[in-house]
Amino acid sequence: MRSSKRLSIVLVSVVILLNSPAGLCGCYKRIFSFGDSIIDTGNFAHVTGNGPSAIKELPYGMTYFNHPTGRISDGRVIVDFYAQALQLPLIPPNLPEQDSGLFPTGANFAVFGSTALPSSYYRRWNHSVSTPSHLGEQIDWFKGMLQRIAPGDGDKRQLLGESIIVLGEIGGNDYNFWFGARRPREQAYQFIPDIVALIGSFAQDLIGLGAKTIVIPNNFPIGCVPSYLSGFQSDNPADYDEHRCLRWYNDFSSRHNQALLDEVHRLMARNPGVKLIYADYYGAAMELVMNPGRFGIGDPLVACCGGGGRYHTDKGCDKTARVWGIPGSFASWDGMHMTEKAYDVIAQGVLNGPFADPPLLRSC
């Protein structure tokens, strides 16, 4: 009987340890993140200076913070949930302290409207892209910060070895700007190899600097995004899938994601000592579409903040827009970006599975 009790105690202890948040055992001391509006925590708001911007005013930030923070949502974004799960403070945007910040727990380099490829790439397509940043520029900011706070090669490798890199989501705006300009949609297939190769190249660059753990998220199912559903409405029922999403655009996102997964597998083969975590944002977001009631979501295809119309998208989200209900009962915040509730669901799918392999909290 006594041995049985001891065995039970040991088993319970093991289960507790296995299920403890990684931050409790000091697994990661910092998060460095790159991307666009999906995880921007204030860089774009800083770029605008004293200029007006809807994201600087309520209802942005109405949930959790109770005031606007520069996040393009009603509250927290995905990287915030990663930080909290790893027992770290919310990761600050880099630009406000670009030349002086020590960033002891990491920094966020993501900027609203950013692309993977620079605008010069699209000139060959006679396509004008106005973007406040691109992935290469964000990586350059990161390298400048790294040189300032860890000047020696050994210092860099130690710092990065204790950190986790979140490389994206990035690339979504490359496609958004093309589709939004009503350019031939099939031509966008030609961008996928270059965008994916660029992401892979920068991942390898970061590994060369000493990164040991990198999360590489895929793209969202854009065919289920209210702004797409509104902007590309069709009278042909065959253009929609069983979830009322636009079939072609989700297939396009899947094509990008498969190419990205292939690239991650190549990086894994080349770097066996590095943890490369493919985060399936597409799959996690589709859970909200397929099983909205499970998460307390009403119609997952309509925006919480906006105007009227089928998808609440005939007006943008700003201080004069209508908030159609409690944001926690919506998946989409403003027609393009998601609510805190949706970002929480997606983050949990990456942190605990099944939408990452390995789940982030099991990556130590």
Q: Annotated active-site positions, please?
A: 37, 334, 337
Q: If residue 121 lies in a helix (H) or strand (E), which one and from where to where?
A: helix 119-122
Find the Cα–Cα–Cα–Cα dihedral 30, 283, 231, 239, rounded to 10°.
Answer: 160
Sheet order of strands, 30-34 included: 106-108, 30-34, 163-167, 213-217, 275-279, 356-357
Q: CA angle, corner 142, sides to 141 and 146, nearest 5?
A: 120
Q: If residue 193 lies in a helix (H) or strand (E), which one and from where to where?
A: helix 192-209
At residue 297, φ and ψ (nearest 5 deg) are -95, 140
At residue 214, φ and ψ (nearest 5 deg) are -130, 125
Distance CA 228, CA 211 (A): 36
At residue 84, φ and ψ (nearest 5 deg) are -65, -40
- Determine the length of the chain: 364
Strand pairing of 322-323 and 305-306? antiparallel
Give the rounded distance of the alpha carbon of 92 from its chain centre: 15
